[in-house]
Structure 1
Amino acid sequence: MSGDVDQDAVLQARNVLLSSARLTRRQEAEAYRVLAKVSPASYAPKLANALIHLSFDDSLRELPEARLNLCREAVDAARRLDESDPRHAEVLLDALKWYQRRLFELGRRPEALTVGAEMAGISRRAVDADRDAPLWTGLTLWARSLAEEGRHAEAAELLEEFVRHSRPGGAREGTFAWSLIEWCAEAEAAGLRDTALNAAQELVELQRGQLALGHCSLASLLLTLLRQAELYDGYGQRDAASAALAEAAILLAELAANGEPKVWSGYQFTYWVVLFGLSGRAAELPAPGRPGPALGAYVRDWAPDIWERHFAELPALREAVERAEDPADRVAAHRKLTIRSALHSELRRGNRFLEPVLPLFDEGVSLARRLGDEARSARALFDRASALTAGHRYADAYADFQEAQNLRNSCDMREVRALPPSRDPQR
């Protein structure tokens, strides 16, 4: 015990922690501050954790600099733990993660990215030493930062590594499906067509297998198939998209008739929001040099500065819809508004999302119908069917889906009739 430590303060701190009284976050942090000086190995991790929790205290809600300082102190506490301690990397990564988030909240993005690079290095060294170590946090956070910075190929490479490690049987099986979505999203953004399609197919096959075991909802596989069909259509693979939609139709018919075989938690809405957000990527390309959201990641995992700016633009998007004179431009602007509003509703309103956003889907269908464009009407109906599915309104979703399918097939038939007659090379 160091000679400059106040022994009375140490005794008092221990008594506080042993007290039966319920401690405030601040009291707990103060006690660990004293004891961490005496025994870093025992108390530095506890101090770091207490400081992070204190940064969420209601009294600091309007004091972002104070929250940042507490997280910085948490990082300093974590660094006191000897690097030979097996907890070192995990404790430090957790403290750095929250410190980075506070930097993002304050708009100090360059500093936050520096912290992200440090976390990636810590995770890389830990994973290289032990592939089953649960310390991929720094690498996955770094992949999202790269995605936000528009460095999609690098992000896709990191996410692919994580996915290959996470496949069933690996150390991170529980996050596998979500990791596949992020990998697919970044591969698509990077222009890696085959990689994106393979990742989407792997997700479908995973969920088919899980469905057979009762570990996946019908709606989740349905929503995945809708996203897969969008990818195929985007890459000009019309027949493959039709096959995915045909399988989705079977699932939705079953849901409309009988509902889900068992009750699932509210994750279904979050799952839909992530996939639906991806369908609007082409309209959300940020200006060169300007960070954008890591579409494919859970909205709450976006950097705070990104989602603050992204959703602050909602009023301007509504004005753009109202200003659009060309009906086709209005439909496109309205879909962008709808997608961004859906993402925002997940962030702000949780499972009550249908209340604020369903009218936008209704409006989108009406605008597309007035335009008289069957392809755009089909797109709007598929969009609303997916939202209604996430909201457990399966019969309504099925009606929209059937109408969308009929419109899509009508477009296909017109294209076939418009083709020039084939020529027999032997004649």
Structure 2
Amino acid sequence: MRTRPLKVALLGCGVVGSEVARIMTTHADDLAARIGAPVELAGVAVRRPDKVRGGIAPELITTDATALVKRGDIDVVVEVIGGIEPARTLITTAFEHGASVVSANKALLAQDGAGLYEAAARHGKDLYYEAAVAGAIPLIRPLRESLAGDKINRVMGIVNGTTNFILDKMDSTGAGYQEALDEATALGYAEADPTADVEGFDAAAKAAILAGIAFHTRVRLDDVYREGMTEVTAADFASAKRMGCTIKLLAICERAADGASVTARVHPAMIPLSHPLASVREAYNAVFVEAEAAGRLMFYGPGAGGAPTASAVLGDVVAVCRNRLNEATGPGESAYAQLPVSSMGEVVTRYHISLDVADKPGVLAQVATVFAEHGVSIDTVRQQGKDGEASLVVVTHRAPDAALSGTVEALRKLDTVRGVASIMRVEGE
């Protein structure tokens, strides 16, 4: 074993960073045996140096992250501060000064992953980011290494634990959205401002990363269609149960049927109870991959939290350190396919539409005519009426999203339609 330690600089020492430091210290001997050389925490950049951080020598703490990554003797920089800047500048500076990088920064990778890859390649360094998508779940490495010889057609998953906890509580207890969100907040699953989670921004960033790897195509955050889950109601869950389904916030990345384009989207959807994703409970994550040769695979586990995410970070640290010892680098960006990213309007799927309508003869015929005029075929219809008002639930066959949008706009203009109460896609069939 080489005696000179490999030096690691840690940018950020919050929930994840503190766990990275702890595991590096408590499992130092095991990590050295796996890598083939000792690994040493050489510095920790923080914003609040006066905060007590157990297990980290005070002399390692600094507020000058730039000076830390410029030292020249750092082998690996671990970036867990998040956000776009200063993270992007610190990462590129690390490459320039001889360090490889391990990051958990989904937002930055989704926005400018191509630029980071180019900087890493220019300086002959590694960029690893297993922790950016699904916490402890091994997913990035299987997609870009284990399945590198296969053709992936679809990646569909639950990649945000907060939203899954909320929807699971709504499903299992009958709670409304706000009640379930309040419970998630009280238990620490939801942030004080949960917007990034419940409006799908977090999942959309992860979808962009997954689509890029799966389809060997650059997919940016702006390419991902996004809908939040704040409008999901107890009535939606009741309708889902009548169909033998539940509701999940899904990230879906898929090739078009002709293979000529790809799409990436995040939105709530009904999925059959028979689908493996339907049984994913509480704050867990799961990703379902469909490949041409390997078939269907599912990756499941805790998708967030300090220790689980630190596990993924340190897995990357071990891989990068091994590469350093061998004077090699791991996989870089694979974007050779350069497939166009189609708009949401071209996505083909099924829909569940709930309408508030007048309870009188001829309404169903009017509604059916609108669907037919827009080329959307109806699968089932359920109608309930009372005191001059009625609810009409329509489930369609597969149709393009653009056709659905046109249908809904036309339905809103009917005098007999009081309102469109709910629109939800049906996936996983």
Question: What's the TM-score, normalizing by structure 1?
Answer: 0.25
Question: What's the TM-score, normalizing by structure 2?
Answer: 0.25
Instruction: Give 1 or 2: higher strand fraction.
Output: 2
Higher relative contact order (CA 8 A, sep 6+): 2
Greater C-alpha Rg: 1
